[in-house]
């Protein structure tokens, strides 16, 4: 008799457990992604390499001269937004996607200029950049030759490069019942190297957004491994394994 009671209790516990999991996963939950089709050069913010950092082959600081071309050292811009809405009856922990922005400069006039070809051979044409997510809208400084300064810290920033199955130290994002949370997706002080003194140098830049798997991805193409795909992706590897979820042009 006692065994029958224990088995009955175990069966009820299992049914309750399975029922809870099923109920949690069938709740009405919506995720939406709104990436821009194009970005105007007026919405792209750049910081120039300070002139005092320009040195010759011997390490000597170069004086100001017309021959010294300004160089853009980093860029900032908003790529779009994503939202998570919980229409269910209990709170839900969400999984933040891992986007990577592949910035392709090969069609820009600055990258194809004669001066660049003569003085900057070997400078890459593509950069794989991790965007940042935040519930706060980022505000960037106007173009300048100084690093960007932001009006107060953005404490809600999330960095997707750390959000993967083996190394997930991101805080859990919980959406309470009936709540909707919006995240801006943007680049902030993202390093690249291109001649120019303002954002017009980035006209015709193509930005492909890739969604990387959070768990181990299989299969892998020849020459692709988890190091250069999941942890330190390159544009070449991304284009081999995935189709971009969006292609944005700077116009």
Domain boundaries, the chain: 29-250
Residue 1: pLDDT band (50, 70, 90) is low
* Each residue's pLDDT tens digit, 36-84: 999 999 999 998 876 534 454 454 545 544 455 678 889 999 999 999 9
Using an 8 Å Cβ cutoff, are 201 and 69 in contact? Answer: no
More confident residue, 11 or 137: 137
Compute the average pLDDT of residues 9-21. 52
The residues near 62 (Cβ < 8 Å, ≥ 6 apart) are 51, 54, 55, 56, 68
Structure-derived torsion over alpha carbons of residues 152, 97, 240, 128, reported in degrees to the nearest 10: 10
User: Whose CA is closest to 135, among 177, 94, 83?
Assistant: 83
* Each residue's pLDDT tens digit, 168-188: 555 668 888 888 899 999 999
DSSP secondary-structure letter at 228?
I
Q: Of 21-25, 54-58, 60-64, 99-103, where does the model show the most confidence? A: 99-103
Tokens representing residue 132 in the block: 């940042």
């Amino acid at each position: 008799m006692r065994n029958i009671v224990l088995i009955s209790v175990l069966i009820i516990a299992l049914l309750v457990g399975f029922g809870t999991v099923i109920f949690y996963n069938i709740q009405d939950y919506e995720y939406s992604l709104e990436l821009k089709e194009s970005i105007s050069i007026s919405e792209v913010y750049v910081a120039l390499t300070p002139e005092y950092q320009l040195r010759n082959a011997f390490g000597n600081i170069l004086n100001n001269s017309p021959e010294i071309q300004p160089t853009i050292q980093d860029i900032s811009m908003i790529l779009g937004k994503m939202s998570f809405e919980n229409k269910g009856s209990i709170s839900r922990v969400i999984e933040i996607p891992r986007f990577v922005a592949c910035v392709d400069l090969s069609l820009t006039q600055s990258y194809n200029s004669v001066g660049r070809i003569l003085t900057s051979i070997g400078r890459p044409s593509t950069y794989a950049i991790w965007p940042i997510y935040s519930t706060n809208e980022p505000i960037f400084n106007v173009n300048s030759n100084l690093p960007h300064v932001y009006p107060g810290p953005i404490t809600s920033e999330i960095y997707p490069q750390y959000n993967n199955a083996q190394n997930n130290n991101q805080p859990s994002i919980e959406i309470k019942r009936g709540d909707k949370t919006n995240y801006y997706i943007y680049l902030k002080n993202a390093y690249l190297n291109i001649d120019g003194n303002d954002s017009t140098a980035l006209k015709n830049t193509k930005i492909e957004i890739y969604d990387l798997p959070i768990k181990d991805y299989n299969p892998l193409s020849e020459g692709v491994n988890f190091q250069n795909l999941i942890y330190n992706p390159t544009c070449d590897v991304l284009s081999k394994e995935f189709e971009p979820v969006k292609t944005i042009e700077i116009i």
